[in-house]
Amino acid sequence: MVFQSPSLFPWLTARENCAVGVDKVYPRASRAERQDVVEYYLERVGLADAMDKPAADLSNGMKQRVGIARAFALSPKLLLLDEPFGMLDSLTRWELQEVLMEVWDRTKVTAICVTHDVDEAILLADRVVMMTNGPQATIGKIVDVDLPRPRSRKALLEHPDYYLYREQVLNFLEEYEHGARPRTQPKPADKAIAAE
């Protein structure tokens, strides 16, 4: 699981935070093999020079990278990502999206990624599941994204079907006002509240 906000042990280094899970998942691997896994994923998320810094001394973006590296390093069967790139600048976000796609290409891990970014959803997903709003949210619409892999942002933008997928998602968002089914006729009480 990769949370929206970084979730690390602040007294451990980036390397130690990543190693906690790796040590549990690969108990039969040698210490050197486990360290190789940790270092590989920390390097992939751009933290080669910060592996030995305590988590408390890392920026929020760097902490989020450690969380992403830690999740990837566990070779999970199911990867849950809750807005994992939300706290990152655009360039880092794009780099980590590439890492996620590379890991998926290598491992074929099932990944569920919550995002509010339409382009990110189409880039990463084979299926975009749009939810309605509210405490009783349901699946509003599913769009199967049948675009070739491996994907890159440039190839995606040049693909003629990209804009069709984007239009379907945006139409859903517009129609349901971010998932809330609009009423055809507001009740008189609603009109009074809206006028206030």
User: 26-55 pLDDT, tens per residue?
Assistant: 999 999 999 999 999 999 888 999 999 999
- Which tokens go with 92? 């880092």
Q: What is the pLDDT of residue 187?
A: 46
The predicted model scores a pTM of 0.76
CA distances from 188 to 99, 107, 184, 185, 194 (A): 52, 56, 13, 9, 10
Q: What is the pLDDT of residue 92?
A: 81
Ranges of residues in the chain whose predicted pLDDT is under 70 = 177-196
Residues 6 or more apart whose CB falls under 8 angstroms from that of 143 comprise 127, 128, 130, 165, 168, 169
Helix H or strand E segment including 131? strand 127-131
CA distances from 68 to 2, 53, 152, 166 (A): 6, 17, 20, 27
Q: What is the pLDDT of residue 180?
A: 52
Centre a 10 Å sphere on the Cβ of residue 196 and count the other Cβ atoms it contains.
5
Residue ranges of domains in the chain, CATH in brackets: 14-195 (3.40.50.300)
Kindly state the greatest CA–CA separation across the chain. Answer: 70
